[in-house]
Structure 1
Amino acid sequence: MTKTVLIADDEPNILISLEFLMKREGYRVLLAHDGQEACDLIMTERPDLLLLDVMMPKKTGFDVCHEVRAHADFKDTPILLLTAKGRDTDVAKGLAMGANAYMIKPFSTKELVQKVREMLGAAV
């Protein structure tokens, strides 16, 4: 069965490029333009993996992470935070909020694809 990846980012160019990349890898893709939209889609669509930008309007990636982890149905959903905020304290905060992994922008698309495969267990 095809895995579903939710991509949440307020930057349209990043959404478009990540959507293309994930579809090319064979994943079904859901797009959210802010943290609230991401939360709504997570509850209705139940994606297999979340790619969350940290700095988004309405709710940050940290907020979304926290809400997802607080919900019993989603406590095991893999979360990868994508952000320009690469300080150790930011990484620690993201992991403390429940993220499984953290990638700092700009990142290699090859590394991102590899990390997504790893987090989803390779099978598409």
Structure 2
Amino acid sequence: MPTPTVLLVDEDLDSLTIYSLMLEHHGYRVLLARGGEDAIRLTSDTLPDVVVTELRVATSEGLSLAEHLKRDSRTAGVPILAVTSFPVRSGWHASGLAACDSYLAKPCAPSRLLAEVERCVSSLIQGNLPLT
């Protein structure tokens, strides 16, 4: 398998920096987006193997980014990891979470995020998730 690509989406520059440096150090190709529209544009050019997104990131249609990606036939099979500090028990966040394959609460140790990304990539390689 070629170098796995991870799309990181967060409005928080510190989170993007910490997570991207850690993932790059472990051999991942990392794409960065500061919002939903940036992420959609990036996925139209390069299909990532995994998306890691802050759950509150939305698109211009008002959907969570995760919902948008799961509705798009091109990105529907890409695993999505939500990382957020917001409660996800009800409402908009709960519907966005339903579109995600995994959820991590902030603050999230980089090693925990790495373990979840590696689990998704391993599942892709083993054929348990569709290869992008």
Taking structure 1 as the reference length, the TM-score comes to: 0.86
Judge conservation of contact 2:11–2:57 (CA < 8 Å) in 1: yes
Alignment size in residue pairs? 122
For residue 114 of structure 1, what is the aligned residue in structure 2?
A: 115
Q: Which amino acid aligns with 2:12?
A: E
Structure with the bigger percentage of helix: 1
2:97 corresponds to which of 95, 101, 115 = 95
Deviation digits for residues 11-69 of structure 1 (CA, Å, limit 9, x no counterpart): 11111111101101100000001111011111111111000112347559x62111111
Identity %: 26
Which runs of 5 or more structure 2 residues have no equivalent in the other structure? 126-132
Give the Cα separation in 1 of the matches to 2:3 and 2:116: 17
Q: Which amino acid aligns with 1:94?
A: G
Matches within 5 A, 1:1-124: 1-56=2-57, 63-89=64-90, 92-96=94-98, 98-121=99-122
Q: CA deviation at 1:101?
A: 0.5
Give the Cα separation in 1 of the matches to 2:60 and 2:19: 20
Give the Cα separation in 1 of the matches to 2:54 and 2:119: 19
**Structure 1 residues 59 and 110: CA distance shift in structure 2, 3 A:** farther
Give the Cα separation in 2 of the matches to 1:6 and 1:74: 12
Give the Cα separation in 1 of the matches to 2:17 and 2:58: 18
- Bigger mean CA offset, 83-92 vs 29-38: 83-92
Which runs of 5 or more structure 1 residues have no equivalent in the other structure? none
- Determine helix, strand or coil for the equivalent of 1:102: strand
Taking structure 2 as the reference length, the TM-score comes to: 0.81
Judge conservation of contact 2:67–2:96 (CA < 8 Å) in 1: no
- Determine helix, strand or coil for the equivalent of 2:51: strand
